[in-house]
């Protein structure tokens, strides 16, 4: 790093300055600056090279951008840092693409592992394979390649798992086993035997609780997973991540442990998953919320439906493939009661809702909660909101609900969604421009591992092109500009966690979270977005990632 001569006139020496760049501030006027100065983790000056160079002292670290572009650190409104790190645990059978590219390939992977594994040892797949439901093997197909080892494989989307007969036996699941609350054990219509497919978390967990990397885990491994997940996130350009589904208190505590050992390098906002009304009551009694600049407990997450790929999206048109396995995870009264209780206790509540009917159920619950306990600025949030109706959008706007969504799904899942709904419904998929122009609060998050790709460029590509991998463009009038996409992915996502006053833009007084990019986001052609990458990631004025 070059060291500049100290200025005797500097009112204060900066810890770090970034000079000679294009600083996209994402402030209200969308100003562009040349340089930024940081002290004590906060931004103290944004302006010209001369203005910022005046703050260089003997101890100041100078980062010469050499013309490169800087943006605020990206805020991921929907991610799973621990679960993402967990995917790369070496104890798993890696079923993610490109490995399990077909049913035959998946069975081959399991078979190869079964040949070398001692009898009775678990074959546990990461999250996971991304075959269509139709192409997913059942228990009998898995038995044919792994008769003597229990197998647990989870779909990438996390909405279902498939297991073999050995695993069903260990879990005590047979034709007489009742569905757990919120989940479905798929049964063969003729024999009544479980097929091995388990829909939604509570059913998946009946077997997952026994599988290494899922229910069978250690605190040390979880810590490693969080660290691995955050390093991948930082290298991608995310400086904050909202983990909207910590499945249990152990995961929340892992984040706390990492923070308390000064090993948390990105900022985390964590929401805990609630599986049932009873679960919710216990959690509300036991959990002590916490808040710092690095780690904040955000509130509670409820799932209202599954997804179109698993056929568990709750749609008004039940004849659609997207809804063919769907059922209500909650009745409206239970949902209202739970949401009302959490809201009354002062927490933010977030809903997973993809289908139009699920989205309406979430909105109904919000409306009821706000009627019972009016509170300004409650910022209820709906995650994904894949197929809202136009009427739903009006209500979302009126109730101030934040939509936290994944434009990368348009590219990654657009073709699959299209085959699961009709053309008319497809026109309602993620109407991002309409929502933006209505003034609905939008946030973007990548949702790994339920999305095959991590980097924010995929959110930009999805939002700007709305084009699927096969080349189909859905509702092209809903495309937005890269400028709008960047604002949603910074300020918009910061709003979703009540943090727009401390992050999301490069302004004096805000946290010094920034990313230096390989390209100028505002002038690069859309066709080059695939080449965009983070070169330096800065959190609180510290360089936490630098491209080698």
Interface with Zn ion (CB under 5 A): 447, 450
Kind of pairing, strands 151-155 and 160-163? antiparallel
Q: Crossing angle, helix 219-236 and helix 249-260, to 10 degrees? A: 70
Closest residue to Zn ion, judged by C-beta, is 447
Q: Which is nearer to Zn ion, 305 or 447 (CB)?
A: 447
Q: Which is nearer to Zn ion, 19 or 271 (CB)?
A: 271
Under a CB-based contact definition with an 8 Å cutoff, are residues 69 and 7 in contact?
A: no
Give Cα 177 distance to the centre of its chain.
Answer: 33
CA terminus-to-terminus distance, the chain:
15
Alpha carbon separation from 433 to 355, 424, 479, 522, 527 (Å, rounded): 19, 18, 6, 18, 21
CB of 414 to Zn ion, least distance (A): 18
Structure tokens at 470: 């096969």
Q: Is residue 396 within 8 Å of residue 388, measured between CB atoms?
A: yes
Give least dist CB 284 to Zn ion, A: 22
Q: How far is the CB of 161 from Zn ion (least distance, A)?
A: 16
Closest to Zn ion by CB, 450 or 521:
450
Q: How far is the CB of 270 from Zn ion (least distance, A)?
A: 13
**Alpha-carbon distance 543 to 70, whole Å?**
13
List the one residue out of 336, 509, 483, 485 whose CA is nearest residue 29: 483
Residues with Cβ within 8 Å of residue 250, at least 6 apart in sequence: 217, 219, 222
Nearer to Zn ion, 301 or 510 (CB): 301
In angstroms, what is the minimal distance from the CB of 127 to Zn ion?
10
Q: 270 or 521, CB closer to Zn ion?
A: 270
CB of 244 to Zn ion, least distance (A): 6
* Cα–Cα distances in angstroms (integers) from residue 193 to residues 168, 188, 327, 478, in the given order: 11, 5, 20, 45
355 vs 352: CA distance, rounded Å:
10
The continuous run of DSSP H or E covering 162 comes out as strand 160-163
* Nearer to Zn ion (CB atom), residue 273 or residue 347: 273
How far apart are CB 67 and Zn ion at their closest, in Å? 37
Instruction: Choose between 150 and 241: whose C-beta lies nearer to Zn ion.
Output: 241
Axis crossing angle, helix 356-372 with helix 332-344, rounded to the nearest 10: 50
Q: The sheet that has 267-273: what strands, in order across it?
A: 74-79, 238-246, 267-273, 295-303, 348-353, 381-384, 402-405, 442-444
In the complex, the smallest distance separating the C-beta of residue 443 from Zn ion, rounded to whole angstroms, is 13
CB of 388 to Zn ion, least distance (A): 18
For residue 362, what are the β-bridge partners?
Answer: none
Shortest distance, CB of residue 78 to Zn ion, whole angstroms?
6
CB of 430 or CB of 450, closer to Zn ion = 450
> Would you say 447 or 455 has its CB closer to Zn ion?
447
CB of 146 or CB of 159, closer to Zn ion: 159
3-class secondary structure, 308: coil
């Amino acid at each position: 790093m070059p060291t500049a001569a100290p200025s005797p006139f500097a009112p204060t020496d900066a810890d770090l300055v970034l000079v000679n760049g294009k600083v996209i501030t994402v402030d209200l006027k969308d100003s562009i600056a040349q340089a930024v100065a940081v002290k004590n983790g906060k931004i103290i000056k944004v302006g010209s090279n001369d203005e910022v160079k005046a703050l260089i002292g003997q101890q100041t670290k100078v980062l010469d951008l050499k013309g490169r572009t800087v943006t605020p650190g990206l805020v991921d409104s929907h991610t799973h840092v621990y679960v993402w790190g967990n995917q790369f645990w070496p104890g798993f059978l890696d079923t993610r693409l490109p490995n399990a590219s077909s049913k035959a390939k998946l069975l081959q992977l399991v078979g190869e592992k079964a040949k070398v594994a001692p009898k009775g040892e678990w074959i546990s797949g990461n999250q996971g394979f991304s075959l269509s439901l139709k192409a997913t093997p059942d228990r009998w197909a898995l038995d044919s390649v792994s008769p003597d080892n229990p197998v647990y494989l989870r779909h990438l989307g996390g909405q279902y798992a498939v297991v073999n007969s050995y695993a069903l036996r260990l879990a005590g699941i047979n034709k007489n086993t009742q569905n757990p609350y919120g989940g479905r054990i798929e049964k063969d219509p003729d024999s009544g035997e479980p097929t091995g497919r388990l829909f939604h978390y509570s059913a998946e967990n009946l077997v997952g609780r026994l599988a290494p990397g899922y229910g069978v885990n250690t605190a040390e491994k979880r810590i490693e997973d969080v660290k691995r997940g955050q390093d991948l996130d930082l290298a991608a350009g995310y400086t904050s991540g909202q983990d909207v589904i910590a499945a249990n208190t152990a995961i929340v505590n892992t984040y706390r442990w990492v923070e308390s050992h000064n090993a948390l390098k990105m900022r985390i906002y964590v929401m805990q998953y609630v599986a049932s009304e009873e679960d919710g009551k216990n959690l509300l009694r036991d959990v002590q919320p916490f808040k710092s600049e690095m780690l904040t407990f955000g509130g509670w997450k409820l799932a209202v439906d599954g997804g179109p790929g698993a056929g568990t999206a709750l749609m008004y048109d039940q004849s659609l493939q997207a809804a063919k396995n769907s059922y209500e995870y909650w009745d409206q009264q239970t949902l209202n009661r739970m949401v009302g209780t959490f809201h009354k206790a002062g927490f933010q509540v977030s809903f997973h809702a993809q289908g139009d009917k699920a989205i309406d159920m979430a909105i109904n619950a919000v409306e009821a909660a706000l009627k019972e306990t009016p509170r300004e600025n409650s910022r209820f949030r709906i995650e994904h909101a894949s197929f809202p109706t136009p009427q739903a959008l009006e209500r979302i706007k009126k109730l101030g609900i934040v939509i936290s969504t994944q434009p990368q799904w348009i590219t990654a899942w657009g073709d699959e969604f299209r085959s699961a709904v009709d053309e008319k419904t497809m026109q309602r998929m993620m109407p991002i421009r309409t929502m933006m122009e209505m003034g609905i609060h939008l946030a973007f998050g990548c949702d790994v591992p339920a999305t095959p790709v991590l980097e924010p460029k995929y959110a930009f590509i999805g939002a700007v092109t709305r084009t699927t991998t096969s080349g189909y463009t859905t509702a092209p009038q809903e495309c937005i500009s890269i400028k709008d996409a960047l604002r949603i992915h910074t300020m918009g996502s910061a709003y979703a966690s009540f943090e727009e006053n401390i992050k999301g833009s490069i302004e004096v007084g805000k946290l010094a979270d920034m990313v230096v990019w390989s390209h100028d986001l505002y002038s690069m052609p859309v066709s080059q977005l695939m080449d965009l990458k983070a070169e330096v990631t800065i959190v609180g004025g510290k360089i936490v990632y630098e491209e080698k």
